[in-house]
Amino acid sequence: MRTVAEAELRRWRELPATDAVEKLASYAKRDVDFIPVKCPNTTRWHVNAQGREFELLLTGSKFFDTRMERGGGGAVDLAMHLLGSNFRGAVEALRRCGL
């Protein structure tokens, strides 16, 4: 694996989580009936990645897994969470899917 440039990391940190989840997951569908409580920009998504089911709240570049009660920010964190990978695996997955 080649090194990760600061510009590439910055782009992944700022990437909307909705963009990342649509590329990383084998199935991702927005719950159009969801009404956010705290932040009006939050959306809820039902996701399948690596054969595992997730219910995610996405706001900007941040995500929160409602079932595991865990969250993070940026595409690398999201890839690590969805794919169960380490940093290196997440970077490879992001590059493979063109993010």
Q: What is the pLDDT of residues 28-81, one digit of tens each?
A: 999 999 999 999 999 999 999 999 999 999 999 999 999 999 999 999 999 999
Q: Which residue has the tokens 């590439």?
A: 8
User: 51: alpha, beta or left, given left = phi > 0 and alpha = psi -120 to 50?
Assistant: left
Q: Give 1's pLDDT tier (boundaries 50, 70, 90).
A: low
Quick one: which of 61, 66, 59, 92 has its CA closest to 78? 61
Domains along the chain with CATH numbers: 6-96 (3.90.580)
Over residues 7-16, mean pLDDT: 97
